[in-house]
Structure 1
Amino acid sequence: MKVHERTSEEISVSPEKIQQLFRRTLMIVVFSQIFGGAGLAAGITVGALLAQDMLGTDAYSGVPVALLTLGSAGAAYLIGRVSQRFGRRIGLAGGFLTGGMSALGVVFAAVTNNVWLLFFSLLFYGAGTASNLQARYAGTDLASAKQRGKAISIALVSTTLGAVAGPNLIGVMGDFAVSMGVPSLAGPFILGAAAFLTAGLVLLVFMRPDPLLVSNALENEKRIDSDNTTNPTPVKNNRGIIVGGSVMVLTQMVMVAIMTMTPIHMGHHGHGLDAIGLVIGIHIGAMYLPSLVTGALVDKVGRTAMASAAGVTLLLAGIVAATAPGDSLVVLILALALLGLGWNFGLISGTATIVDATTPSTRAKVQGSMDVLVALSGATGGMMSGMIVAQTSYAMLSIGGGLLSLLLLPLIIWVSRDNVALKQDKNKKTA
């Protein structure tokens, strides 16, 4: 039997061939994520500094991050819809290429000192960051249920390689930019343009056949075969979507809120930029580097167990951050490492839950919508954190964030009871 993709390509339905395509797709995702991570880091690292330099004030230095977040949320929605209709290749490549062209727009804005072009370009630069996040789903389209956590984790670790390399090239790219008559702070966006455009071209050229279209074709074949058997066709699990989305949204909000105010908190207690950079660097490492272990645990011990671990770990992070002496660098490092680790548990378990709960015919669309909520929750957490600290304290923010993460537990109990009821119902039918 042959499965036809919309591009008229054919692959055999044999499990061996599907696994071969799964591994090939994952390799392509890895390469695109390495470049995409470098582009992602460029915007986050110097966007605010470039705006400050062009405007001559720090009053609007937060605008670039807000525009990146807004653009990322809008792009996530569009990429999900485009991917659902035309496949991952077109959706993700389109997002990366848009981000790359927008990075060139940022460079041109810096050369011409055009602030409005800068803001406009940063808004569309978010398309690259949205593609970078959604690419983790492409590796799961042809994965079995026991491979999904691992596939997600490999994509996240690949992003780390680029995200770590990007900031370390700021000085080099700044010198390169100056040699071309471009302001030094625009240098990282030259790197971002090259990185995003390369990531987009890798996906556009090599992601054939498209994993989502193949997965959808396989589902259609199963639906046809199920008409002649007693095996039911898988359907979308709305409860699983709610739980998976809630896990990602809550962990993102708590993580961003505490992370955003930690450098300010440290500055108030006399810590220098080197100490702040060390804490945030370890935090980012804890967000991504444990992914391979986390992915294996998500596949082995289950999504709900790791989502529960996310809630507990974030609570511990909040408690440690709240009780840490302001001058204790070691305790703050521990708090931010736990914060990153809890986010890692939540993102991978939540993503795997979303994949489990959807079918190929709706998966990309649902995933895009979930990533919109994740982006907006992060923006909300970042904006609210400053207000909360201004009205109370960093300790209250940390405790509040930790307690908020405990909302994951009732959700997990809810879905666990549902799974038990389903198993009992299946056993009754089998008997």
Structure 2
Amino acid sequence: MADQALQRRVIRTLVGAQVLTSLGMASGASVGVLLADDLTGSETLAGFGTTAQVLGGALIAIPTARIMAARGRRPGLWFSYSLAAVGSLVIIAAALLRSYPLLVLGMLAFGGATAGNGQSRYAAADLAEDAHRGRDLSIVVWAATVGAVLGPNLIGPGRELGRLVGVPDLAGSFLFALVGLLLGIVVIVRWLRPDPLLVSRELAGAVPGAAPADNDGSLSRGLRVLRAHPQARRGALVVALGHVVMVGVMGMTPLHMAHGHAELEVIGFVLSVHILGMFAFSPLVGVAVDRRGGVVVAGTGGVLLVAAALLTSVSQAGWSSLLLVALFLLGLGWSCTLVSGSTMLTAAVRPDERAAVQGLAEVGMGLAAAAGGAVAGGVMEAFGYRWLGLGAALLGLVILLLATARTRQRS
């Protein structure tokens, strides 16, 4: 059993870094689709701009997992957050040069923040006791609340900061993103010691009869592990599908509101409420996973996502209280699928298998959401926001069916 004082120190460090990096990620991501739309005048291309960040997170998760498998959590988190900081600078340059290709490149690198934050929640579970794994994982997810809720509300101050330093209004938010990411890197490098993944492997190796460690973090190894563990497969699918629904609907909501002439500050407020639903209640979700099981909470998430998507499908363009409620439920449903699926995935595999299978899960989650984001832009332009909501509701139903389906766990 791991030293619980060490586990508490790991959680505190991850929480501090998560607050800072999520502030950076949310402040930038909130205006990414608007900046892409401003540069191109196309909803489809604006959707691809958002998709680039999600795709970047998936691609960066591959080397991040390999680095973590070989050297631990700290070097992997440093790598992913550093790429995101570079991406912030590239996006600002794209806004100055009014270059959409450069914006896409910057958003790809900015996806490193997504990869890093995703792996942070897994780092919180490395040394957790079995009875509290969902709780510890969810605390780090919850830590993103502060930064993520404040982030969209920095759209207005970001506009003023951008004017002050001579960059376009929408690019100002990425200055906040850059600062948050750099501070998060300092916290990880300075205080995430000893490395929780390396310690968990040492503890597992000390158990009589334990399998020898295999620190291969490749995607092929992750696939082999998923084939051997049905519960891990279910967890990975729940996380991926929940993320697709959230990204597809949330990514196009700013445009839906802008079409109804909503102000930037109002758009930021609605997104803040959505992000509040994503993160603020995650500790309660984690406790529910520990007490009731991941399958029950995953099914609850599916129900919430179906309800949220149906409400968005009947919401009017611009501001509406119905849309506000829908976006809150969308965030809460996502929280249920993320925490339950991640806990099921982690609990089903050995410490030496975690980096590979968690990296694969992050790649699958990112690629699925990237495809969903791209499709969402096309659906929005061709058919409208209503049909986007109805399509998302169908995916939420798939999550519910997946959670209630029986699986046979192999020995």
TM-score higher than 0.5: yes
Match of 2:204 in 1: 219
Shift of 1:189: 2.2
Tell me: higher relative CO, structure 1 or 2? Use CA pairs within 8 A at least 6 residues apart. Answer: 2
1:414–1:391 distance in 2 versus 1, CA, 3 Å = same
Render the CA deviation track for 1:366-390: whole Å, top value 9, x for unaligned. 1111111111222222222344456
Instruction: Please say which of residues 303-312 and 385-394 is displaced more in the overlay.
Output: 385-394
CA drift at 1:299: 1.0
Q: CA deviation at 1:402?
A: 2.2
Other-structure match for 1:82: 67
1:25 corresponds to 2:10: yes
SS at match of 1:407: helix
Letter in 2 for 1:351: S
CA contact 1:257–1:378 (8 Å) conserved in 2: yes
Cα deviations by residue, 1:12-68 (Å, 9 ceiling, x for unpaired): xxx4x6211111101000011011111102321333454566x47557444532322
The C-alpha deviation readout for 1:287-344, integer Å capped at 9, x for no partner, is 1111121111111111111011112222222343445577993333333222221111
Identity %: 36
Q: CA deviation at 1:113?
A: 6.1
Question: Could you say which residue in structure 1 is the equivalent of 2:334?
Answer: 343
RMSD of aligned C-alpha atoms? 3.1
The aligned residue for residue 96 of structure 1 is: 81
Question: Do the aligned partners of residues 217 and 280 (structure 1) sit closer, same or farther apart at CA in structure 2, a change above 3 Å counting?
Answer: same
Provide the secondary structure at the position in 2 that maps to 1:418.
coil
Does the Cα contact within 8 Å between 2:51 and 2:371 map onto a contact in 1?
no
- Cα 1:240–1:256 change in 2 (3 A) is same
1:43 counterpart letter in structure 2: G
For 1:226 and 1:133, the matched residues in 2 are separated by 27
Tell me if the contact between 1:95 and 1:200 (Cα under 8 Å) persists in the aligned partners: no
Aligned ranges 1:322-341 → 2 under 5 Å: 322=313, 329-341=320-332
Assess if the C-alpha contact under 8 Å between 1:52 and 1:61 holds in 2: yes
> For residues 77-136 of structure 1, what are the alpha-carbon distances to aligned partners after superposition, in whole Å with 9 as ceiling and x for unaligned?
211111111100010111112222332344455556666554433322221231122211
Indicate the structure (1 or 2) with the bigger Cα radius of gyration: 1
* 1:271/1:46 CA distance change after superposition, 3 Å: closer
Higher mean Cα deviation, 376-385 or 293-302?
376-385
SS in 2 for 1:361: helix
Asked if 1:238 is matched to 2:229, the reply is yes
Q: 1:367 to 1:178 in 2, by over 3 A?
A: same
Equivalent residue, structure 2, for 1:366: 357
Which of 105, 121, 124 is 1:120 aligned to?
105
CA distance in 1, matches of 2:164, 2:317: 43
Match for residue 408 of structure 2? 418
Q: 1:312 aligns with which of 303, 313, 328?
A: 303
CA contact (8 A) 1:283 1:340 kept: yes
* C-alpha distance in structure 1 between counterparts of 2:107 and 2:272, whole Å: 24
> Distance between the aligned counterparts of 2:373 and 2:173, measured in 1?
24
Aligned match for 1:197, one of 182, 187, 191: 182
TM-score normalised per structure 1 = 0.81
SS at match of 1:25: helix
Which of 105-114 and 351-360 deviates more? 105-114
- Residue 157 of structure 1, aligned match among 115, 135, 142: 142
8 Å contact kept, 2:40–2:46: no
Q: CA deviation at 1:409?
A: 4.0
Structure 2 gaps, min length 5? 213-224
**Residue 153 of structure 1: CA displacement?**
1.7
Greater shift, 169-178 or 321-330, is seen at 321-330
Cα distance change of structure 1 residues 278 and 171 upon mapping to structure 2, 3 Å threshold: closer
Question: Does the 8 A contact of 2:34 with 2:46 survive in 1?
Answer: yes
Contact 1:36 1:129 in 2 (8 A): no
Task: Give the alignment's TM-score, normalised by structure 2.
Answer: 0.85
Instruction: Measure, in 2, the Cα distance between the counterparts of 1:124 and 1:30.
Output: 23
Read off the aligned partner of 2:241 and give its amino acid letter. Answer: L
The one of 252, 262, 268 aligned to 1:272: 262
Q: Which residue in the other structure is 1:168 paired with?
A: 153
Confirm whether residue 142 of structure 1 aligns to residue 127 of structure 2.
yes
Q: 2:282 aligns with which of 291, 309, 325?
A: 291
Q: Is the 8 A contact 1:110 1:182 kept in 2?
A: yes
138-147 vs 328-337, which moves further: 328-337
Comparing 384-393 with 351-360, which one deviates more in the overlay?
A: 384-393
Decide whether the 8 Å contact of 1:256 with 1:381 is kept in 2.
yes
Q: 1:262 to 1:221 in 2, by over 3 A?
A: same
Give the direction of change, closer, same or farther, for the CA distance of 1:108–1:212 in structure 2 (3 Å limit): same
